[in-house]
Structure 1
């Protein structure tokens, strides 16, 4: 910005902290609609304005150098508040520019590019043109994967720089040169542009479309009864019609089709995505839900993703219910992998938490530091932990353990009830409650199972146990199904199969016992050999003749 401003004889304003604190607070916010939360079996079009904020700046010439201030203050012969400083616009100059002024929706006046082209529009045009050039180079050199990755990183960097230019004009707390008039004008004009696009879509009867969600620079359009081919055709028509009603370079781009999809809340949705008409297999695309978040354990994302895919593909709730109940039974029986039940939260440093904070990463770090001061994690490192069973009434923070502690202590068991009721079921319920399904009732139908590890413990260790460790269940030795009669009824109908399986297990146990006996004998003979050699060396060191011959030792 300074490089472009210097040849134009501009110098930047350097406001102090006090000046920034006295600046008026921003008044405008982006348009984020509350979606119509439900399951959509029809096509949902997703249309997005391409680089909306930079395009607004370029199209309407919004800049520090082109802003005349609020309309309420124009025409007065006195200075008025402008950003962190003050401004005075003479009435004669204002009269000369009366035909070359654009007014933003929040009442801020800017001169047109024919009078003076702003510094920010020049800078953003240069950045966006450079990005287009880099993206074209990616297409020309797509055979070189290393060069393509580097060019992709550059075009993404240019995109982010262009998008955060608005933040540079509006950051009044930590910003370098904030100006609330410019920042508010960009946000309000972008909001007005999106509202006009939504009104155009809803009022055009030939499309039969309705906007069900809008977020800052994108909108989701519902097409009832349209096929995939019709959806792509109507999506292109909407993008071209909206683009034609806006000045260049404001452009609405048709991105993708969701068929089907679920709109949960603001910034939380999931669907099967089609990006091109020729695409045969859809892509699972999720935003904001647990399948793409890192604050839950992997089991939550896996179960939720598989359940949503079953909903999209089969529309059969009974299949989803069976799948969820099977996964819950695996947890209750202790058959689930610990790797899928590990949380990992960032450690922010021992001095970054308020006193008495109940944070698992901090709690585990205190225990590790008490044992070894060198074991403290680095700031920003993710600390893994799991939740185990404990006595009733114990706070949850005291049930946090490291995975290695659970593997080493057989008395610790993963808290299946917590994982099911607090981690797995709530995300599922948020999705399936939109179609009238109570997911928690699926868990209530399951039998209560507490599987324990039968290990020999002395009297001291037995005091650490809980009452749940004295209850166990009976399993069929053939198919491992729950039963109270030794071998289940299903296996009893196949006696030959049962005999083969049990004989095979007996042979395996006998073979392992034989191996243990052999290893014990070898270890014992090795110990006798070492004792004999030690006695021989001891007799030699005393100057005596050994009592056994060398052949015997060998």
Structure 2
């Protein structure tokens, strides 16, 4: 934004300290928990940036309640009633139009490449970075530390966003499509190609924003929580959102177990097979057959270890490393394991290179890593943590490799 301001000869505002004032955000529906077949995700293309472009939302186009309506007229946001002049184009509109164009150009290049290629992954990371910057624009306008801070822009953008999603959901239901979930700028529907194609056209014509199927899941699983689901794509890949698998504060064993449980549920629809897999993993963990590297928990230092007010496991491990001469900085990842002992958890950790498998607190990994990660999924199928730990696996029974 600063570069564009300089390009068009506009002065860059100074930051001004001011109190935080909250505003209503995007709408997220509660999902229909459980397993669903054949689900399409209808995604509004760059919804919030396009809302800001369509309604010319910008600090320099805002018309306060004390001002007269300009000759060009105004757009009035639903709910909040903020007004923005229709002409000429505002500063945000120019910047966002440019960013959307750049992202479209990158994605066009990606279509010519194989998804597993290095070039594809580099371009994918680049388009995601542009997407984050573009989608963050309305939030930036409502951030008190922003140079171009103006709360009505952020409030109006989210108000139009809620208006758009609610209307899109109603139109989908009126068309006879079952809505499974809605999140910020997308809705999850039962996939009926002809109805969805017609709905997409009608939404575009009535609401003025482009919407189209972004993904179609062969099968998708929702927990009862918002923003947490996993879907099976037509090519066999799993698309996991918001679950422990993609979070960094779990050991790799927990991530592997949960991902395999999801794979069994989504591909084979067999909760009982998933239970057996978990029980077999617990058995092999107790036999110390799980690779030591899968027990390491990695956590990033967000400040210097001495600056933490609360004692935590990764900070204690970091201090042990520093006592041995290791130099650590903010942003470094610390790898540690939980060992047998007494006291709080942070008193029972060691940097992984200072510990041996014989010291590992196996029960911790069973009860606090493997079982919770699996139960998050399997509880939706009336399977309890007690069932997962009631292992009947024998030495000559199933092996983990039998599940792959």
> Which of the residues 201, 219, 222 maps onto 1:263?
222
The structure-2 alpha-carbon separation of the partners of 1:11 and 1:362, relative to structure 1 and needing over 3 Å to count, comes to closer
CA gap of 1:286–1:156, structure 2 versus 1, over 3 A, is: closer
Residue pair 2:141, 2:149 contacting (<8 A) in 1 also: yes
Alignment CA distance shift 1:317-1:111 (3 Å): closer
Is 1:269–1:288's contact at 8 Å kept on the other side of the alignment?
yes
Instruction: Find the counterpart in structure 1 of residue 349 from structure 2.
Output: 400
Q: List aligned pairs for 1:71-150, cutoff 5 A.
A: 73-74=65-66, 89=67, 93-94=68-69, 97=71, 100-105=73-78, 106-113=80-87, 116-136=88-108
Q: 1:328 aligns with which of 282, 285, 300?
A: 282
Asked whether the equivalents of residues 231 and 257 of structure 1 are also in contact (C-alpha less than 8 Å), the reply is no
Distance 1:385 1:158 in 2: 35
Deviations 1:414-472 (CA, angstroms, capped at 9, x unpaired): 2221111111111221211112122422313558xxxxxxxxxxxxxxxxxxxxxxxxx
| Counterpart-to-counterpart distance in 2, 1:366 and 1:381 | 13
Q: Determine the structure 1 residue equivalent to 2:266.
A: 312
Tell me the residue number matched to 2:401: none
In 2, are the aligned partners of 1:425 and 1:440 still within 8 Å (CA)? no
What displacement does 1:398 show? Answer: 2.4
Q: CA deviation at 1:379?
A: 2.4
Q: Does 1:62 align with 2:62?
A: no
Match of 2:337? 386
| CA displacement at 1:219 relative to structure 2 | 1.3
Q: Is the 8 A contact 1:168 1:176 kept in 2?
A: no
Q: Quickly say closer, same or farther: Cα 1:353–1:5, change in 2 above 3 A.
A: closer
- CA apart distance, 1:5: 5.8
Instruction: Summarize the alignment of residues 241-252 of structure 1 with structure 2, pairs less than 5 Å apart.
Output: 241-247=202-208, 250-252=209-211
2: CA distance, partners of 1:389 / 1:146: 43
**Pairwise CA distance, 1:134:** 4.3
SS in 1 for 2:233: strand
2 CA distance for matches of 1:7 and 1:272? 46
Equivalent of 1:302 in 256, 275, 278: 256
Following TM superposition, by how much is the alpha carbon of 1:238 offset from its aligned partner in structure 2, in angstroms? 2.9
Closer, same or farther: CA 438–7 of 1 in aligned 2, 3 Å: closer
Instruction: Report the Cα distance in structure 2 between the residues aligned to 1:396 and 1:435, rounded to whole angstroms.
Output: 31
User: Partner residue of 1:516?
Assistant: none
Partner residue, 1:463: none
d(CA) in 2 for partners of 1:139, 1:315: 33
C-alpha distance in structure 1 between counterparts of 2:92 and 2:271, whole Å: 54
How many angstroms does 1:15 deviate by? 5.3
Residue matched to 1:521: none
Is structure 2 residue 129 aligned with structure 1 residue 170?
no
Cα 1:202/1:421, change in 2 over 3 Å = same
Q: Name the counterpart of 2:372.
A: 426
Larger-gyration structure (1/2): 1
Q: CA deviation at 1:346?
A: 1.6
Q: Secondary structure at the match of 1:186?
A: helix
Q: Separation in 1 of the partners of 2:300 and 2:5?
A: 42
Q: Which residue is equivalent to 1:367?
A: 320
User: Partners in 2 of 1:155 and 1:329 — Cα distance?
Assistant: 44
* Distance in 2 between residues matched to 1:204 and 1:159, nearest whole Å: 31
Q: Tell me the TM-score normalized by structure 2.
A: 0.87
Cross-structure match for 1:32:
28
The 2-side partners of 1:306 and 1:15 are apart by 49
Secondary structure at the residue paired with 2:32?
coil
Name 1:548's counterpart in structure 2.
none
- 1:472-551 to structure 2, matched below 5 A, reads none
Change beyond 3 A, Cα 1:154–1:273: closer
| CA distance, structure 2, for counterparts of residue 295 and residue 388 of structure 1 | 17
Structure 1 residue aligned with 2:160: 189
Determine if contact 1:330/1:336 at 8 Å carries over to the other structure: yes
Instruction: Encode CA deviations 1:278-318: one digit per residue, 9 max, x unaligned.
Output: xxx42211111122222111111111111222222332333
- Tell me if the contact between 2:283 and 2:391 (Cα under 8 Å) persists in the aligned partners: no
TM-score, length of structure 1 as denominator length: 0.65
Per the alignment, residue 538 of structure 1 pairs with none
For residues 404 and 6 of structure 1, what CA distance do their matches in structure 2 show?
Answer: 52
Distance in 2 separating the partners of 1:311 and 1:154: 33
Distance in structure 2 (CA, Å) of the matches to 1:284 and 1:351:
40
The DSSP-based 3-state class of the residue aligned with 1:334 is: coil
Contact residue 40 and residue 215 of structure 2 kept, 8 A: yes
Contact persistence 1:239–1:252 (CA under 8 A): yes
Query: What runs of 5+ residues in structure 2 fail to find an aligned partner?
Result: 398-404
Higher relative CO (CA 8 A, sep ≥ 6), structure 1 or 2?
A: 2
**Deviations 1:347-401, CA, capped at 9 Å, x for gaps:** 33123301xx33122212333333x3x32433221111111223xx533222212
Question: Deviation at 1:152?
Answer: 5.2
Show the counterpart of 2:183: 215
Q: Note the alpha carbon deviations across 1:119-157, whole angstroms, 9 max, x for none.
A: 221222233234334444556798xx7876666555444
Q: Which residue of 1 aligns with 2:384?
A: 438
Deviation at residue 480 of structure 1 after TM alignment: 6.0
